Structure 1
Amino acid sequence: MSDYILGSHQPLAASYPLALVDLDGVAYKGHLPIEYAAESLVSARNSGLALVFVTNNASREPEDVAGQLTGLDIPTSPHEVMTAAQACARLLRSHVQPGAKVLVVGGAGLLTAVQAEGYTVVSSTDDEPDAVAQGFHPSLGWEHLAEGAYAVSRGAIHVASNLDLSLPTARGYAPGNGALVGAVQAATGVKPFSAGKPSPAMYDMALEKAGVSSALVVGDRLDTDLAGARAGGYHGLHVLTGVNSARDDILALPQERPHFIARDLRGLLETQPEVTRENEWFICNDARVRILDGALNIDSAGEPDELDIVRASCNAVWSFVDEGGEFDNTSIPHFSTL
């Protein structure tokens, strides 16, 4: 079960040279802090863990992101930020040569990144752009999307910073870049290339920049953060402070499964309990679960931590469905503390 939930006898911060940390839903939510995030990240860094903040948000400059983190008591330099805008601009090189004309549909972060890669930024389809680079910005409107659609319809390569359908804010979840990219795709019938997670491109770029060969991916979304970890061959820590829940972990698709689960970023400073198997039982500390007649069966003896139940349940359910079993999703209990 080396590809399932793993254990670690030492804190995760001591097990990896670098952590690739998502922002929204992990380090903060919208413009609000997340409990334990600042002190956990600072402690992990002080213990020797290097940090790079990797975000699918392409609307902001690395300096702005670093400033926000620093204002939330997570001292950060722009060099510790990797944005989807930077990855999008780098991905353009796979399709058009530097110096080509690029229509940017997005914010200042994407504009700066595209210029930094040596492209000529234009503002109109009438300028005959060779490519369209699209990233999220709250000010984008119909005219911007229409301009992108006109250019793509005329043959311009379409590259998106990410395809996230939703964007976490302090008030809830709003339409993300994927929703806006979908409008251009619907109008043109052309599927865009994507640079953001779940592509591991940003992770690979961050490791190359840091000069290390391994890293721990830390995120709140299975379909982007953790899928990117799986796609790139990295271990992933899912923190339950954002989009996806513990129930989602148990039901995760193979390509989106985490290797570790924690309530929040304190998990970086903690050891991770191992999940073992004895006959049909999967055991994590005091938690014992099995699959009985296609349903999750939890041993009622003792008072195991709910997170240990989740860890054991992940390996039990994943093993069962990977062997072709049909799992009863309704058998997953409500976790009151997660």
Structure 2
Amino acid sequence: MTHTAADIPGDGAPRDGAGGGGPAGSGRPLAEEYDTALLDLDGVVYAGPHAVEHAVESLEAARRAGMRLAYVTNNASRPPQAVADHLTELGVPAEASDVITSAQAAARLVAGKVPAGSAVLLVGGRGLEEALEERGLRPVRSLDDGPAAVVQGYDPSVGWQQLAEASYAVARGLPWVASNTDLTIPTARGTAPGNGTLVAAVRTATGVEPEVAGKPLPPMHQETVIRTRAKRPLVVGDRLDTDIEGAFNGGVDSLLVLTGVTTAAQLLAAPPHQRPTYVAADLRALLVAQPDVTAAGGAYRCGGWTASVGDGGQLRLDGAGSGGDPYDALRALCAAAWTAADGGAGVPDARKVLAELGL
């Protein structure tokens, strides 16, 4: 079946609050407001081999409330079953059908460019190989095998020989699809080169740009919605430039949790296309209503906190003191900072107020 833009939920910009300036509120728990959570994995559900704090019990409670859980990753190296097995070991029961990868989105893109059953030059690992086979395509490893296209995804096994084969094929004019272009990946030992770094090698050798499938671009969002049949999805992530921007590009609402790479300072400085609908500490946010941010006289209030921008361009925070929820303060600060930036005043200085909040 061919899916068009009309088939994909989310045909406009995500909601926001505070008169258009900051995070939105929700009178009901998010697990009741949305039918499906499209969850990023690393930094949201797990951090390497361990579950993120509060993730396991929060996801189980959201499932009991009727929310479908789907796991969406830009990592093309592992097949969905391997990801599902890892989640299950952590205490988050999952089936392969609950996992959507950039490899699957890339394979769908390739299948739309070549005849059925075509050979495709594979630069990547088993996850991408399985995704091509699912679409009826034949993965090969050499230009001598007559491929009709090139598809590239991250895998630790990728080395010079595979990059060279891809370069030869791309230079001859074969269509080139990359699963994603994330420059780095987190590992147990630190930050390592990601698929974007490997893609850059082929780009440098050929002068050609690939078509990219993964977050934040629309093919990944479309693949996810097609596979989950979500009617009212909520993207949940920890990265502004992939998860939240991807939700914006898909026209659906998003929840940013601060359990991964994004800092409070980065959130306050986010451009419009990387601003989440909701902001929270962790996945417990799925189980509760979200507070409103209200605007009055150039200031923004959430919970007991009121945020504004002073004459010197510094963010100011008044109200709840040490007894209030610091994430209510952060929501109010987002409204003040984003409104100031959109009005041409630039990003306000948030260092002092964030230090006082411990964020």
TM-score (norm 2): 0.90
Q: Report SS of the residue matched to 2:180.
A: coil
Residue number in structure 2 paired with 1:231: 249
In 1, the alpha carbon distance for the partners of 2:236 and 2:89 equals 21
Residue number in structure 2 paired with 1:334: 354
The partner residue of 1:128 within 141, 146, 162 is 146
TM superposition shift of 1:206: 2.6
Residue number in structure 2 paired with 1:161: 179
Q: Which amino acid aligns with 2:333?
A: S
TM superposition shift of 1:337: 4.3
User: How do 1:142-291 and structure 2 match up within 5 A?
Assistant: 142-291=160-309
Q: Which amino acid aligns with 1:129?
A: P
The partner residue of 2:61 within 37, 43, 51 is 43
Q: Is the 8 A contact 1:31 1:169 kept in 2?
A: no
TM superposition shift of 1:143: 1.5
In 1, the alpha carbon distance for the partners of 2:340 and 2:278 equals 19
Q: Which amino acid aligns with 1:324?
A: G
TM superposition shift of 1:142: 1.5
Residues 1:315 and 2:315 are matched in the alignment: no
Q: Which amino acid aligns with 2:126?
A: A
In 2, the alpha carbon distance for the partners of 1:310 and 1:2 equals 16
Q: Which amino acid aligns with 2:334?
A: C
5+ residue gaps in structure 1? Answer: none
Q: How many residues align?
A: 338
The partner residue of 1:112 within 130, 133, 138 is 130
Residue number in structure 2 paired with 1:95: 113
**1:44-103 deviations in whole A, cap 9, x for unaligned?**
111110011010011011110000000000000111111111111001134323222210
Q: Report SS of the residue matched to 2:354.
A: coil
Q: Is the 8 A contact 2:21 2:339 kept in 1?
A: no
In 1, the alpha carbon distance for the partners of 2:131 and 2:157 equals 18
In 2, the alpha carbon distance for the partners of 1:54 and 1:33 equals 16
- Which structure exhibits the higher relative contact order, with contacts defined as CA atoms closer than 8 Å and separated by 6 or more residues? 2
Q: Is the 8 A contact 2:22 2:293 kept in 1?
A: no
Residue number in structure 2 paired with 1:4: 22
Q: Report SS of the residue matched to 2:353.
A: coil
In 2, the alpha carbon distance for the partners of 1:332 and 1:177 equals 37
Q: Report SS of the residue matched to 1:126.
A: helix
Cα distance change, pair 332–154 in 1 and its aligned pair in 2 (3 A): farther
TM superposition shift of 1:331: 4.6
Q: Is the 8 A contact 1:23 1:54 kept in 2?
A: yes
In 1, the alpha carbon distance for the partners of 2:72 and 2:163 equals 26
Deviates more, 1:86-95 or 1:15-24: 86-95
Q: Which amino acid aligns with 2:76?
A: A
**1:132-153 deviations in whole A, cap 9, x for unaligned?**
1101111211221121111111
Cα distance change, pair 18–330 in 1 and its aligned pair in 2 (3 A): closer
The partner residue of 1:299 within 301, 318, 331 is 318
Q: Report SS of the residue matched to 1:334.
A: helix
Q: Is the 8 A contact 2:315 2:348 kept in 1?
A: yes
- After superposition, the CA RMSD in angstroms is 1.7
The runs of at least 4 aligned residues of structure 1 exceeding 6 Å deviation read none
TM superposition shift of 1:212: 3.1
Cα distance change, pair 79–3 in 1 and its aligned pair in 2 (3 A): farther
In 1, the alpha carbon distance for the partners of 2:143 and 2:267 equals 44
In 2, the alpha carbon distance for the partners of 1:220 and 1:192 equals 26
Q: Report SS of the residue matched to 1:198.
A: coil
TM superposition shift of 1:3: 6.9
Q: Is the 8 A contact 2:341 2:348 kept in 1?
A: no
Residue number in structure 2 paired with 1:66: 84
In 2, the alpha carbon distance for the partners of 1:93 and 1:2 equals 40
Deviates more, 1:26-35 or 1:76-85: 26-35
Q: Is the 8 A contact 2:338 2:347 kept in 1?
A: no
**1:171-217 deviations in whole A, cap 9, x for unaligned?**
32221111111111111111111110001323323323333322000
Q: Which amino acid aligns with 1:295?
A: Q
TM superposition shift of 1:332: 5.5
Residues 1:56 and 2:80 are matched in the alignment: no
In 1, the alpha carbon distance for the partners of 2:110 and 2:127 equals 15
